[in-house]
Structure formats: structure tokens, C-alpha cells
Amino acid sequence: MTQKGKTIQLIKDILRHVVIVLMVSVWLIPIIWLIATSFSAYPGRNTSNFFPEQWSLQNYINILNPTSHTVNFPIWMWNTFKIAMAVCIVCTLFAVMVAYATSFFRFKTRKPLMNVAVILNLFPGVLSMISVYFLLKAMNLTNTHIGLTLVYCASSGLGYLIAKGYFDTVPRALVEAAKLDGASQARTFFSIILPISKPIIVYTVISSFLTPWTDFVFSKMILNSGIADMWTVSIGLYNMLDRSLINTYFSQFCAGGVIVSIPISVLFVIMQKFYVEGITGGAVKG
């Protein structure tokens, strides 16, 4: 290659990287701002500067040691964690079991059921919000964490599609061998299929943990008694932006936002390897 060719290549590389840096900065600016503001020594909303004038760890200390009755971040975290764990377990079990059934069993309504599930999945969950609310109210389940957990778990079986795709790639011979050795369906499922399905289980765990962890709409609607100790993290954080609180709590709100994202990030980093395998594995057959 000539000298000229090299220079052209270099210019191309530089241009390409400049574009990438620009795009990345557009994506990252809000996150950088959030993190920077969470370390601000000024408690209120600062719209005059991008970076805080004085840095401090006080926001993190304050939000983890609440003094006010209305801003009780640790309790919100605990509530959310409890709900998310319960939902995570129930949803994963359901989704994987439905996937197992649709993948390995052959029964008459298998196809129609799968079609119905896919169609139901196309409707956004919020459509059912009003009816869900009144049903829960009739059963006295509003303002309880159980009610909220039920709502999140309700459509969990519908999330079977990707897991089913993964199970379809499992050799049939494996299941048949288990059958010949006298294993029941339950035993086949728990002892043969589950151990080799780690990637897809991890994927289901992450996605079912994320829903309650990040949901605002349903929790705000169901936990409407105004009792702050009942709230989940998203309602609590939202409430910190109230007109009367924002001047004292805005920086703490940012700190809260950063803290909330930590468990998800950790979960994701640990399970990343499986996650990619899970999605691509499940995508081989749709």
C-alpha cells in the first residue's frame, strides 16, 4: 500500500471514531449528569451548571440514613426487592414450565394456545390497568405487596416464547432416554432439562426481575394509600420531585437513581455471558 493510501485510511479511521465519540457522548451525557449531580453539595435543582460547583458524598449518606418519615429510601428498596424477588421466582418457574410444555408435549390445543399467547402478548399491559385495579379492590388487595406481586406475575406464562425456542434446540433423544429410564415429566423437567438450560433461565430471571424493579405505573396505581412506608422505589423517587421536596431532595433523588441502577447492573454483569447465549440460543428456532 502506498503512503497516500495509508493517509486516506488514517483519515477515514479518525472520521469514523469522531462520529462514534459524538454518538456515545450523546447517549452518555444524561447518565454522566445524573452521576455528577448525585455528588453535588447543593441539595436543590441546579440548572445553571452542568457539573456541580462543590462535590460531596452527603447525598448518599443522607439517602441511606433517612431522617424524614416521607423519604425513607432503604425501606423502599427493601419493599421493591421483596416484590422483585417473589416475582422473579414465580415468573421464571411459570415461563420455563410453559415453555417446556409447549416444546416437548404434543396436545391438541398446543398451536391455538401458543397463538393466543402471542396475540395477548401484543397488547400493552397498561390496557388492563383499570380493570386490574377494580378487581384487586374488590378482593381487598390494593395497598398490599401481595396484590402488586400478583399483578406482575399475572402474565408471566406468556413470556415463554424465547425459552421455548431454546428448548426446541435440546436433542429429543435426551428426553426420550429419560423417559425410558422411567423418569416422570416433572423429573425430566427438573433433573434433565433445567440443568442444561442455565442461559435461558438467566435470561428469564433478569427480565422478570427488571419488570417490578423499574415499574412505576402499576405500583403507583395500586399502592395509593399515601403511606410512604408501603411504597416501592419508583413511587418514592417520583415523590421526591414534588414541588415542596425538590429543593431539599433533588440531589438525593439523583443519588437514589444511581443506587437503584446498581443491583441491575451487577446482576447484568454477572449474568452477561449467559444472557447473550440465552437470547441467541433461543433465536435459532422461533
Partner 1 sequence: MKKKLISIFLAAAMTLSLTACTQESSGGDNSTTTTAGSGDDAADTTTSAAEGNGASGETITLRVWGGEEDQALLAELVNDFKAAHSDQNFDIQIGVESESTAKDTVLTDISAAADVFAFASDQIASLVRAGALANLDSMSEVLTNYSGKSIDDVKSANSAGTIGSATFKDNLYAFPMSGGNNYFLYYDANVLSEDDVKSWDTMLAKASESGKQVGMTLASGWYLSSFFMGAGFTSSTNDDGTTNCDWNGTSADGYTGVQVVEGILGITNSSAFLPVADGDLSNQIASGNLCAVVDGTWDADAAQAAFGEGYRATKLPTFTCNGTQLQQYTYTGSKLIGVNALSENVGWATVLAEFLTNEQSQAKRFEQRQLSPSNLVVSERDDVKANIAGAASMEQDNFGSIQDVGEKFWDPTKTLGELCAQKSLTVGDTAGIQQALDTAVEGITAALQ
Report the interface residues with partner 1, using CB under 8 A. Answer: 42, 44-48, 68-71, 133-135, 137-138, 142, 224-228, 239, 242-247
User: Strand pairing partners for 135?
Assistant: none
Q: At its nearest, how many Å lie between partner 1 and the CB of residue 134? A: 6
Distance CA 38, CA 60 (A): 8
How many residues make up the chain in this entry?
286
3-class DSSP assignment, residue 73: helix
Q: At its nearest, how many Å lie between partner 1 and the CB of residue 82? A: 21
The DSSP element (H or E) to which 41 belongs, if any, is: none
Choice between 48 and 54, CB closer to partner 1? 48
Dihedral of CA atoms 203, 209, 213, 217 in degrees, nearest 10, equals 90
Choice between 86 and 148, CB closer to partner 1? 148
Distance CA 201, CA 176 (A): 22
Q: At its nearest, how many Å lie between partner 1 and the CB of residue 226? A: 3
Contact 59, 268 (CB under 8 A): no
Q: At its nearest, how many Å lie between partner 1 and the CB of residue 158? A: 19
Q: 225 φ, ψ to 5°?
A: -80, -10
Helix orientation angle between 73-104 and 246-283, rounded to the nearest 10 degrees: 20
Choice between 42 and 104, CB closer to partner 1? 42
Choice between 3 and 47, CB closer to partner 1? 47
Q: At its nearest, how many Å lie between partner 1 and the CB of residue 246? A: 8
Choice between 45 and 198, CB closer to partner 1? 45
